[in-house]
Structure 1
Amino acid sequence: MYHEILGRTDPAAPTLVFSSGLGGSARFWGPQLPVLLENYRVVLYDQSGCGRSPATLPEGYSIGDMAREVLALLDSLKIERCHFIGHALGGLVGLEMALQRPSLLQSQVLINAWSRPNDHSARCFAVRKTLLRDSGPAAYVQAQALFLYPADWIAAHSAQLAEDDAHALAHFPEPGNLLKRIAALQAFDVDGRLADITTPTLVIANRDDMLVPWQQSERLAARMPRAELKVLTYGGHASSVSDPGVFNEVLLAFVQEQN
């Protein structure tokens, strides 16, 4: 998979591995880099079948497969301990990694993630699949901001979103891959295994997230023995982009406690 290693270069530096959501792009984490690169080694990657990691995903592709791909990448980089930060689908990857190889994770941060399917998110993803199948990538990209950001933020950032939409459309993944990725997150369910995850975990939720109800994060934190919950009041599903100042402060405070 395509990957970048930024910030500190010494192997002893605290290592942060970032995993984005359904879009699968390392580019998602741009608002976090300015506050991290001086003190941390940062690993970003494009997920398989997305962006600069071309692949034809197999039938039955799962979140477990995504976790094994990240583990293989980190093994190739000789990274034996890291803090893992995952947004939405990326958070599901983190949960799988914590089950598959807990010794790797010094801590994890799960942002607007979930442990099992819920009816509201299922409805949202069904709409996105219908848009992709029946109306095509342009309609899918145009609707994406509605799921990710608060309405007032969208209204105030129309020029930025136009650029983001153009970039997303120019680098749109093969639709079959995207449908398989949506099917993987719809099938994901580790609800019965949360008590087995002992990695120190910060669960971040947004009260105004219209894609994943914040109560899904509350459920995660309540069932994981070493998890704490932080509910943010503003930012929608992607507050790391729409309100990065608050998000970065919360992220840094937690990671610093774990070193």
Structure 2
Amino acid sequence: SLWDTKKIALSEAVTTEEPMKVPAVSTINSTVQGSGILAALLAVVRSSYFKLGVGCVLVYVMMNVCFDASGIYGPDLKTVLRRFSTANNISEAAAKPHGDKPTNNKTRVITDVPEDVVSDSNRSYLSAQKLCPIIPPNLVGYIPTKMDIQSLDDVEGEFPDVMPGGHFRPKECTSRHRVAILIPYRNRAEHLKIFIYNIHRVLARQQIDYGVFVIEQGDSKGFNRAKLLNIGYLESTALYDYQCFVF
């Protein structure tokens, strides 16, 4: 029939027609170009110049972030160099200390510090030529022991050179020794007056820079001599730079 013939012809036309081919030239070219760029990038990354550049960038970033090295550039560097050149131009004569010798009469604006402690800081300025002699000149003669001491006020009146707090130092020279005498004490007022009077008479002749510390136990418990001496040591060293301690 007519219908069947057309159907067969259409099927034959469809089956006998060759399929359309898509050209592959552009795909091949793009693949070749992509692989070439990738190879070039890999070659650059593997090169020593690239690694050196990356290392320099990392060092620069670390210097600016961690060490804040941006301040060494520009005028600041010139200022630093100028300071070094100025220091090199200082003459030797100008660098020497002045010939004037400071004395203990310097006034310093220091608050809440005892006067004797402030004056002690001036010891470092004293010249070695003013040291007291090794053998004190007044260390001769018999010193009788005085037992009839009425009160500690009498002791203060007889030794006007003793500073408040039982501290003494010679005025004519700088003592070679700084001695702290620690006395553990409780309920011995009569003995304390006699000891304080006679110890000042002996030590003042020896040109010693010394201090007498009486550490009293206020309670009625067992007398703890060792603890009192420990307290005396801590308190005396807080007030002055003592070298020797007599327990």
Q: Higher strand share goes to which structure?
A: 1
Bigger Cα Rg: 2
Q: TM-score, normalised by structure 2?
A: 0.20
Q: TM-score, normalised by structure 1?
A: 0.19
